[in-house]
Amino acid sequence: MIAVDRLTKSYGAKEILRGMTFRAEPRAITLLVGPNGAGKSTTLKVLAGLIRPNSGLVRVNGFDVVADRIKAQSRLAYMPQSPSFHPRLTCLEILRFYARLRGLMKTRCEAMLELTGLTNVARIRTGKLSGGMRQRLGLALLLLADAPVLLLDEPGLSLDPAWRKRLQETLHFEAERGKTVLVTTHLVAEWNNVADRCLLCRDGAIERELDPTDLPHNFDAPDARAISLATHIQNEPRHLATN
C-alpha cells in the first residue's frame, strides 16, 4: 500500500508539490495522470526515496520513506521514465548485478529476460539496444525482485503498441497477485479501461478522481462521473496506515 499525506516539494522558489494527498491500494492499478509539470514524476521519486520532500508524510507498506528509507525501498521497485544502463554491460550482466544486490537466484534473471522478450539479446551490450528494448530491460528490472509495490513513470513512451499492451497485461497480473501498482502517464487514451483507479494531478496536487473507463472524455473537462476530491478526502482517515 502507498499512503501520501500533504506532501510538498520545492526547488528554490519553485513549488512542485503542493499538498499531494492520495492512497494506492494493493490488488489494484492506480493511475496518476496530468499534464507535463503537474508533479507526477516528482511524486514517484519521493516515493522511491530518491529525493526528500519538504514536508508531508509518505509510507510504503507501512514504512516512512524518509524515516525508514531503506526498509521502504526494500518493499518497492521503481521504473523511471527513461531507464539508462552502463552501455558496455549486457542485459544479463545488469540483471545479475541487481540480483546479487537483492540476494536473488541467477535463474530469476533468465526468467525476467524471457518475460520481457529479451532472451535473444541477453548478451548484447545495452548501448546497442533500441529505446524500446531498454524500456523492456527496465521492466525486467522492475519485476526482478518481486517487490510488493511497483512504481512506473511513463512506462509506455518508448514501447510499440504491442508491447504497451503486453505491459498493461503484466501489470494486471501483478496486481491480481496482491501488489500495489502506481503508474504515471499523460498517454491517457491508451490507459482507458485499464486501471482500477485514476487520479488527476494538476499544479502539484490531486485535483479530482476520474472514471478509469472513460478517461479521454473526462481528462480535460469535469463531468458528473468525476468523483469530487473534497468528498473523497472527507471519507478517508486523516492518519496514515501502518501496514
The tens place of each residue's pLDDT in the chain, 243 residues long, gives 999 999 999 999 999 999 999 999 999 999 999 888 899 999 999 999 999 999 999 999 999 999 999 999 999 999 999 899 999 999 999 999 999 998 999 999 999 999 999 999 999 999 999 999 999 999 999 999 999 999 999 998 889 999 999 999 999 999 999 999 999 998 888 899 999 999 999 999 999 999 999 887 776 644 333 333 333 444 454 444 443
Q: What are phi and psi of 10, to 5 degrees?
A: -130, 150
Give dist(CA 114, CA 121) in Å, integer.
Answer: 10
Query: Does 2.40.10.120 match the CATH number of domain 1-75+147-243?
Result: no
Q: Do residues 55 and 8 lie in contact, with contact meaning Cβ atoms separated by under 8 Å?
A: yes
Q: What are phi and psi of 176, to 5 degrees?
A: -65, -25
Q: Where are the domains of the chain?
A: 1-75+147-243, 80-145
